[in-house]
A and B are shown apart, each in its own frame.
Chain A
Amino acid sequence: MKKALSLLLSVILCIGLLSACGESKSGSVYWLNFKPESDEALQEVAKLYKEKTGVDVKVVTAASGTYGQTLTSEMDKSAPPTLFVVGNTNSVKDWADYALDLKDTPIAKELNTDAYNLYSADGKLVSIGYCFECYGIIVNPDLLEKAGHSVDEITNFATLKAVVEDIHSRAAELGFDAFSACDMDSSSSWRFTGHMVNLEYYYEERDSGSTWTECPAELKGTYVENYKNLYDLCINNSTQDPKTLATGGHDSEAEFKEGKAAFFVNGSWEYSAVSETVPNATMIPYYCGVEGEEKAGLNCGTENCWAINSKASEEDQKATMDFLVWCVTDAEASRILVDTFGAMPYKSAAESTNGFLAAANEYTNKGCYVMDWATNYQPGVDDYRAGLVSALNAYNADQTDANWETVRTAMIDGWAVQYQKQNQ
């Protein structure tokens, strides 16, 4: 018996040793993916590439909200990711030294716009956008109609408020409410602390007269009240009591899909899920009471930018570059990717079928202004957002002016504090 056991143990040991020998000589690709919801599609693309070229593509997806941690530990390993995501100014600061300068590389030449590229302070092209997205308020036009309204009626905050409050007041009779749950747990709070808050940043940026190119040291807070307008409207006219939002547990997406709510604060990546049951779902801008907002469009930008690991071996870098070019030029691959991501800013990539991005285009064609993603400049983004969530939790539980002042402090003064911390 003992002999058998020791034999078994030594066999296990040997297997462990052998498995270390299976490394390939030619280059391979290791993509550390940022979006859990696109993992399935990326695995499919990786498999397709292996079938067509024989090159290994490993796609690993970091758990939601842990990309920074996963990237830090993966980069330290002997076989680090060759392809990773550097999506905002914050991570450009952290990872510029590990990113290949993509200027004039084959993949950069495939781009059809420079709008989503991120440069380091010394002008190095650190990462390039692989998709772009938009966010705003997703609307179910059928439910609006049932309530006796229409999407066209909504052109600014006043009209939005009228429709929302009317639906909420008749929720019992209609069988659905205005907004779906606005949970503040980590799976949902970014809709308000990362996205909706963009309206404050964007309008400040616009006031400054030029587009931000780096994180401003402080904010003025001119548009905090506008954020409050829209935020209050969302939480107080929703399927859930604002007091129950702190720990979450409500499925906002399902509420919208099942027709329990007519409005859903989210972005274009939700299109494939939402359109299953609400095929004519559309998206409207963050109307918040700013003057001239009848001309507002959706918030367009991206946090999805590819960076190639400059410390990876030459072969791996080459293999990664080839893979990227294939992703945006191959009809089949770019079709899968575009369907997953919404749209890709590349000349030969497949056409987008995303209804929300189509809505974004429609606004732009009507001459509306695009609200860019100023939110990508949030300094110390995790701590900053955590502070904001905590302040909003207190406000949700008790909607007093004092509690709102704390929200303002977290949003405006918190920015300056995090900026100092980051640049010390």
Chain B
Amino acid sequence: MKNNKSNFSALKKKPAKIRSMRKWSWLFMGPVVVCFAIGFIWPFIQGIYLSLCKFRLIKDAEFIGFGNYGRALADPSFNRAFWYTALFAIASLIIINILAFTVAYLLTQGIKGSNLFRTVFFMPNLIGGIVLGYIWSMIFDGILSRYGTSILENSTFGFWGLIILVCWQQIGYMMIIYIAGLQAVPEDMLEAAKIDGASKWQTLFKVTIPNIMPSITICTFLSLTNGFKLFDQNLALTGGLPITILSDGSQIKQTEMLALNIFNTFYGQNTSATGVAQAKAVLFFILVAALGLIQLRFTRRKEVQQ
């Protein structure tokens, strides 16, 4: 602490230098700000505008007001996709985090070759979602075809297949975050717990976990939003199949998640549906942003200040 303070006062002594540096801040921040504006802020604003339009091509959009939102909310497939996605996000959040933490915990116990294991567990994360989707559909069907069925025929298989896929992909990534957290748990606290006679479980729940709350925050945040935003894996693994045909001829895509529903709406055959898809996308953004913020706030409260 002392050290910090002296550093700070040392900086304070040279205000002129800081001021001269500040003049340059725009030069350094500029490129990032420009890229962010071009790649994110502008498309975002345009996206909101388009959700109020009827259009075939973006450049010929015609303003129509809030009608698209009404149609988006009235769409039963959107509603269904929402609940399906929510279920999926919660299931994947729990499974991914428990497994990732377990693996991270085991790999920080000084097992031989733990670096190798870390690398191997992390590797699936380097493969793109579409490729993963196709690889896993081959694996699942390789097994399921022996029983005369396929992942495209049974929505339960589709659901758990997707869970297995995202677990395989994301556990390694979350594991790295947890390992970083675990290594930052102060040795003296662990030692104190040991001296006080705490059992392994007590140490884990009373010392280790409270201390890695920042990692838990990050990981739950990431896996929750990843679950909601999931698209390419969904598209490649099942593409929304199987479809249930209702008696009136309308269809329900059993494994269609929100992002895929938006995509399917946009590229559906009806020209006026593009605006509806855009409205869905804006609703989708609000949902994911809100969920993320709530969740962040909720876990922040449990963090231990070191």
Task: Judge if B183 is at the interface, Cβ distance under 8 Å.
Answer: no
Inter-chain CA distance A379–B251, complex, in Å, is 14
B11-19, B56-64, B93-101, B219-227 - interface stretch? B56-64
Please report which residues of chain A, range 388-424, place their CB below 8 angstroms from some CB of chain B when the two chains form the complex: 389-391, 393-394, 397, 406, 409-410, 412-418, 421-422, 424
Inter-chain CA distance A1–B232, complex, in Å, is 40
Min CB gap B181→A, angstroms: 34
Task: Judge if B3 is at the interface, Cβ distance under 8 Å.
Answer: no
Inter-chain CA distance A246–B267, complex, in Å, is 24
CB of A417 within 8 A of CB of B248, answer yes
CB of A243 within 8 A of CB of B249, answer no
CB of B269 within 8 A of CB of A379, answer yes
- Known contacts A76-B57, A244-B145; is A382 also within 8 Å of B269 by CB? yes
Instruction: Collect the chain B residues with CB atoms within 8 Å of residue A72's CB.
Output: 56-57, 267
CB of B269 within 8 A of CB of A383, answer yes
Min CB gap B55→A, angstroms: 10
- Known contacts A94-B271, A380-B270, A382-B268; is A390 also within 8 Å of B56 by CB? no
Min CB gap B145→A, angstroms: 6
Inter-chain CA distance A387–B264, complex, in Å, is 13
Instruction: Collect the chain B residues with CB atoms within 8 Å of residue A383's CB.
Output: 251, 264, 268-269
Task: Judge if B243 is at the interface, Cβ distance under 8 Å.
Answer: yes
Instruction: Collect the chain A residues with CB atoms within 8 Å of residue B59's CB.
Output: 76
Number of residues from A at the complex interface, CB < 8 A: 42
Interface of chain B, main secondary structure: loop
CB of A393 within 8 A of CB of B150, answer yes
CB of B57 within 8 A of CB of A75, answer yes
Instruction: Collect the chain B residues with CB atoms within 8 Å of residue A249's CB.
Output: 138, 141
Task: Judge if B233 is at the interface, Cβ distance under 8 Å.
Answer: no
Task: Judge if A38 is at the interface, Cβ distance under 8 Å.
Answer: no
CB of B242 within 8 A of CB of A97, answer no
CB of A417 within 8 A of CB of B270, answer no
**Which of A90, A380, A386, A415 sits near B243, CB closer than 8 Å?**
A386
Min CB gap B146→A, angstroms: 10
Number of residues from B at the complex interface, CB < 8 A: 34
CB of B245 within 8 A of CB of A391, answer yes
Min CB gap B258→A, angstroms: 18
**Which of A94, A247, A417 sits near B137, CB closer than 8 Å?**
A247
CB of A394 within 8 A of CB of B242, answer yes
Closest to B152 in A: A246
CB of A422 within 8 A of CB of B270, answer yes
Instruction: Collect the chain B residues with CB atoms within 8 Å of residue A90's CB.
Output: 269
Inter-chain CA distance A386–B250, complex, in Å, is 12
Instruction: Collect the chain A residues with CB atoms within 8 Å of residue B148's CB.
Output: 243-244, 397
**Which of A76, A247, A380 sits near B269, CB closer than 8 Å?**
A380
Task: Judge if A355 is at the interface, Cβ distance under 8 Å.
Answer: no
Task: Judge if A93 is at the interface, Cβ distance under 8 Å.
Answer: yes
Min CB gap B166→A, angstroms: 20
What 0/1 pattern do residues 240 to 256 of B give for CB contact below 8 A with A? 11111111111101000
Min CB gap A415→B, angstroms: 7
Instruction: Collect the chain A residues with CB atoms within 8 Å of residue B248's CB.
Output: 413, 417
- Known contacts A97-B56, A383-B251, A417-B248; is A393 also within 8 Å of B270 by CB? no
Instruction: Collect the chain B residues with CB atoms within 8 Å of residue A246's CB.
Output: 141, 150, 152-153
Instruction: Collect the chain A residues with CB atoms within 8 Å of residue B150's CB.
Output: 246-247, 393, 397
- Known contacts A68-B267, A380-B269, A422-B269; is A390 also within 8 Å of B243 by CB? yes
Task: Judge if A381 is at the interface, Cβ distance under 8 Å.
Answer: yes
Closest to B151 in A: A247
CB of A94 within 8 A of CB of B56, answer yes
Which among B57, B58, B249, B270 has the greatest number of chain A C-beta atoms within 10 A? B249
Task: Judge if A210 is at the interface, Cβ distance under 8 Å.
Answer: no
CB of A390 within 8 A of CB of B58, answer no
Task: Judge if A69 is at the interface, Cβ distance under 8 Å.
Answer: yes
Inter-chain CA distance A391–B250, complex, in Å, is 12
Inter-chain CA distance A381–B183, complex, in Å, is 56
Please report which residues of chain A, range 70-88, place their CB below 8 angstroms from some CB of chain B when the two chains form the complex: 72, 75-76
Inter-chain CA distance A93–B264, complex, in Å, is 18
Instruction: Collect the chain B residues with CB atoms within 8 Å of residue A386's CB.
Output: 240-241, 243, 251, 253
Instruction: Collect the chain A residues with CB atoms within 8 Å of residue B268's CB.
Output: 380, 382-383, 421
- Known contacts A72-B57, A413-B249, A417-B249; is A390 also within 8 Å of B242 by CB? yes
Task: Judge if B108 is at the interface, Cβ distance under 8 Å.
Answer: no
A interface, CB within 8 angstroms of B: 68-69, 72, 75-76, 90, 93-95, 97-98, 243-244, 246-247, 249, 379-383, 386-387, 389-391, 393-394, 397, 406, 409-410, 412-418, 421-422, 424
B interface, CB within 8 angstroms of A: 56-59, 137-138, 141, 145, 148-153, 240-251, 253, 264, 267-272
- Pull 26 A–B residue pairs with CB atoms less than 8 Å apart, ordered by A: A72-B56, A72-B267, A75-B57, A76-B59, A98-B56, A243-B145, A380-B268, A386-B253, A390-B152, A390-B241, A390-B242, A393-B150, A393-B153, A397-B148, A397-B149, A409-B247, A410-B245, A412-B249, A413-B248, A413-B249, A414-B245, A415-B249, A417-B249, A418-B269, A421-B268, A424-B272
